[in-house]
Structure 1
Amino acid sequence: MFTGIIEAIGTVRALTPKGGDVRVYVQTGKLDLGDVKLGDSIAVNGICLTAVELPGDGFWADVSRETLARTAFIDFKAGSRVNLERALTPTSRLGGHLVSGHVDGVGEVLSREENARAVQFRIRAPRELARYIALKGSITVDGTSLTVNGVNGAEFELTIVPHTLGETIMADYRPGRQVNLEVDLLARYLERLMLGDKASEPSASGLTTSFLAEHGYLK
């Protein structure tokens, strides 16, 4: 688990094809690796990766085909800047929100506008994630815990203050960029719980308007 509070900006230094998937080397910059051991989890742009080698100034991790298919990892190349966060510990401050490091989908930055000292971004999420994105709710973008300041269908807006721009890779965002999205963990569990006994049925993939009406949530 993670908090979505980025600890450092790292740099992808190598991408090596290996047995049908990829091994990546990430140089971790100011991230303190003093207590990181082999097998520990580190979030890279919101993707939970396992450290398999620790050469000193970074770590190597294996990236599965599933991760390559479901995230914006495919856009990484040597020199790409990435957000880094070590896994949450029992004594960590939960400054953001609970983040699993399991990317739900890839979004696209649609616009970037100056807003006083902040920057306003508009991002389009995959349609199937729209129901989890709520005004003033939490969302994770490339591993960063953020507050949704506007919603219109599958599009949402973020207002990013100077500190966040300086401590994450969001300063690099331009229209057309692909970003990893993870929706609020509690929203996903709540949806599943509301299905009740129907959750055990093979076709129970999520809430529908007819289900909500049948159970008195819609009139």
Structure 2
Amino acid sequence: MFTGIIETLGKVKKLENDGGNLHLTIASEITPELKIDQSVAHNGVCLTVVSMDDDAYTVTAIEETLNKTNLGDLVVGDSLNLERAMKLGARLDGHIVQGHVDQTANCISIEEKDGSWIYGFAYDSTLNNVTIEKGSITVDGVSLTVVNSKKDSFSVAIIPYTHEHTRFHSYKVGTKVNLEFDVIGKYVSRLIEIR
């Protein structure tokens, strides 16, 4: 489980295809604190540390993960939002995030608003994921509050700290991002669908 509060940015050091899998080697300041078998969220995708070497560690994404996320689009040098799993008993500063990306979205607008930013995202609504006004959404692993919720799009407001310390400062219109919809909303949606 994660909170959606990004700890640091990592940098892709190496990418290696292995059948349908992709091994990602990530350089990060948190590497010395990691251990093999530990879960780390990469742009909101929970992946397991499989090896470590000095300032970098390696994780593996399987084909299904690559098909549902933006990890397959990465190139050496790209940055990633990183978060280690939450500690039991610690404050839950964001919201409950599983690290299981539901789908991707594309950035459709960026508007600077007197020191903050409004980012708009569009997603495929046929996958039955929904947002609600003032509900929670995770964009590339960042816990955010939905504004301007529509059937296939939404916006989020980004403060300067989040803009500077996450991948948001590198987004452009057209950037593909990972979305994890609110877990409670997903259960409610599924129950309604069953009835």
TM-score with structure 2 setting the length: 0.94
- Which letter maps to 1:92? A
Spell out the pairing of 1:35-46 with structure 2 (5 A cutoff). Answer: 36-46=34-44
1:130 is displaced (CA, Å) by 6.1
Once the two structures are superposed, residues 48-101 of structure 1 have per-residue CA deviations (whole angstroms, 9 ceiling, x without a partner) of 110000213121011101111111112100000110000111032210000000
1:131 is displaced (CA, Å) by 4.9
Larger radius of gyration: 1
Shift of the 152–191 alpha-carbon distance from structure 1 to 2, 3 Å rule, reads closer
Spell out the pairing of 1:1-219 with structure 2 (5 A cutoff). Answer: 1-29=1-29, 31=30, 33-34=32-33, 36-128=34-126, 131-192=129-190, 194-195=191-192, 206=193, 211=195
* Consecutive aligned runs of 4 or more in structure 1 exceeding 4 Å deviation: none
- Which letter maps to 1:94? L
Counterpart contact for 1:129–1:183, Cα < 8 Å? no
Of residues 13-22 and 78-87 in structure 1, the stretch that sits farther from structure 2 once superposed is 13-22
Aligned partners of 2:126 and 2:46: how far apart in 1?
22
User: Please, which runs of 5 or more residues in structure 2 have no aligned partner?
Assistant: none
Looking at secondary structure, tell me which structure has more strand per residue. 2
- Which letter maps to 1:16? E
TM-score with structure 1 setting the length: 0.84
Where 2:99 maps in the other structure, the secondary structure is coil
Shift of the 87–41 alpha-carbon distance from structure 1 to 2, 3 Å rule, reads same
- CA-based RMSD of the aligned residues comes to 1.5
User: Please, which runs of 5 or more residues in structure 1 have no aligned partner?
Assistant: 196-205, 212-219
